[in-house]
Amino acid sequence: MRLKSFALSVWNMVDPIYYACTRLRCVGQDRKNSTFRVRLTSFKGRNVHLSDGSVIEKGDTLLKIHLHNVILLKDMLSIKNEIKKGKFLYRAIEQSLPDLAVYLQHHPKINDIKGIIGITMLNKGVGGLGFEAIPIPNSLYKWVKYVTMIPIYFLSANQPLKHVKKQSPAYLIMSKNVLMQKYGGGGADTALREPIRHA
């Protein structure tokens, strides 16, 4: 526990520097404690056919989501039960998705963005949120993501060595239409209006 607390304290000090050096933008009004940080990305994987009929093709513009891990891990540090940790993370993401829908709806490139994408090892039970877990076909890229995500997994799990070999990174993808229907109060057509210009 002390080692994890120390690691999170160091991470918390370094995180603002990391954020300043990236193109990430916080989502929601409480930006300091925002669950999501996002940036635009060009999809580089194989074509993906989603259950709502949307097709994500190579080169499509997506909004890439990054969990604000240092904030979430600090909140989860005192939770001992893995099931309760999973429920906490699920609720945190669920409660933040409406803010993400608003952010996307007001984005200057809303008409170009086809959906949202993330990469995580915590990809079980995401269907209820509207995400679809898609295997990463490139073995090298999958291994690189696995290595970079291991520190986060060790900080989040109570017994990481017991289950670490079972973890496998995957894409989490949600189409723009599903995001707007579930969290934005309408379908994709609702989003295709004059966007609010912002920096």
Could you tell me the pTM of the whole model? 0.80
Q: Please report the pLDDT score of residue 3 as a whole number.
A: 73
- The single-letter DSSP state of residue 187 is -
Q: Residue-wise over 113-140: b if at least 16 C-beta within 10 A, else e?
A: bbbbbbbbbbbeebeeebbbebebeeee
What is the phi/psi pair of residue 142, to 5°?
A: -65, -40
Nearest to 100 by CA among 191, 189, 194: 191
Judge whether residue 199 has pLDDT over 70: no
More confident residue, 148 or 31: 148
What mean pLDDT, rounded, does the chain reach? 81
Tell me the helix, strand and coil percentages in the chain, rounded to 5: 45, 20, 35
Q: What is the pLDDT of residues 90-139, one digit of tens each?
A: 898 999 999 999 999 999 999 999 999 999 887 677 888 999 999 998 89
Domain ranges (residues) in the chain:
2-191
Distance CA(194)–CA(175), nearest Å, equals: 20
Q: How far is CA 126 from CA 55, 94, 162, 198, in A?
A: 19, 10, 22, 31
Q: What is the pLDDT of residues 158-176, one digit of tens each?
A: 665 565 666 788 999 999 9
Q: Give the SS3 label for residue 98.
A: helix
